[in-house]
Structure 1
């Protein structure tokens, strides 16, 4: 069996895995998730619950499937999140679907209040990240992150 030539790594520091792009992105994501978990726990919410509230504030009537995709959870997990929010009185959904299987969700008055209450804590976390980047570099960073995600989604 012939030996294959070693593959050239696509990054400048192949011997230090902590400097690989994927590792740095995961480290950032992990730090963000940890900070958000801590801040949201004080308000009795999880990250997927908070993300769902934010999305429903912007796009009332989203379905479980759409919310699950947008919050990076499975449809089954998304349904658990929605049930928990509904039981807490933060969202409403009809008992049955008008057509198909989609049951559009909407924030309740309490859901709007809770979202407003917790946004300052979450926005403070994002501000900490943004403060670490020179403002003139932010548009390029955001564009690059979008390009990276798009490249992997193809």
Structure 2
């Protein structure tokens, strides 16, 4: 269905299609993470810490696209559950660098397998060349918007 007039044609709006793809991906990730007792933000936090141990609350919030307050609540819960550890006191300033615990790593392994299966499903209709093009194009769009 094409919208006419002063509005945007949603069928040809890149922003709308990206948002629709993002929403579909998030819903599929939520579906596979829920049985593991995780949200997408929970998974993102663990994945970020696995790749960059010692990130602060603010850095994790930026990486997971949530507020500092939301990330702080999540980190406190993950500490209580034994998935993440942070020092009791900051060595410099107010930063409490977070690290995954062995339990957090085990939980992340299961979640990563589930999320990768969603990504494989999302890319299933594409050839290897099309997948490479999609990644290149998306990175280029991101760079273009960050360069402003």
Fold match by TM threshold 0.5: yes
Change (3 A) 1:100 1:136: same
Looking at structure 2, the residues matched to 108 and 15 of structure 1 have their Cα atoms a distance apart, in angstroms, of: 48
Equivalent residue number for residue 90 of structure 2: 97
Q: Which has the larger radius of gyration?
A: 1
Instruction: Calculate the TM-score normalised by the size of structure 1.
Output: 0.85
Cα shift readout 1:69-115 (whole Å, capped 9, x = no counterpart): 11111111111121121121100011211011110101111101111
Equivalent of 1:145 in 119, 138, 141: 138
Structure 1 stretches lacking a partner, 5+ long: 1-8
The equivalences for 1:100-111 within 5 A come to 100-111=93-104
Looking at structure 1, the residues matched to 145 and 77 of structure 2 have their Cα atoms a distance apart, in angstroms, of: 32
Equivalent of 2:28 in 24, 35, 43: 35
Looking at structure 2, the residues matched to 42 and 137 of structure 1 have their Cα atoms a distance apart, in angstroms, of: 32
Instruction: Calculate the TM-score normalised by the size of structure 2.
Output: 0.89
Cα shift readout 1:11-42 (whole Å, capped 9, x = no counterpart): xxx87313311111011000000011111111
Equivalent of 1:73 in 66, 69, 77: 66
- What is the DSSP-based 3-state SS (H/G/I as helix, E as strand, rest coil) of the residue aligned with 1:95? coil
Looking at structure 2, the residues matched to 75 and 67 of structure 1 have their Cα atoms a distance apart, in angstroms, of: 8
Change (3 A) 1:15 1:78: closer
Equivalent residue number for residue 10 of structure 2: 17
Equivalent residue number for residue 3 of structure 2: none
**CA RMSD for the aligned pairs?**
1.7
Change (3 A) 1:98 1:18: same
Looking at structure 2, the residues matched to 28 and 70 of structure 1 have their Cα atoms a distance apart, in angstroms, of: 19
Looking at structure 1, the residues matched to 95 and 12 of structure 2 have their Cα atoms a distance apart, in angstroms, of: 44
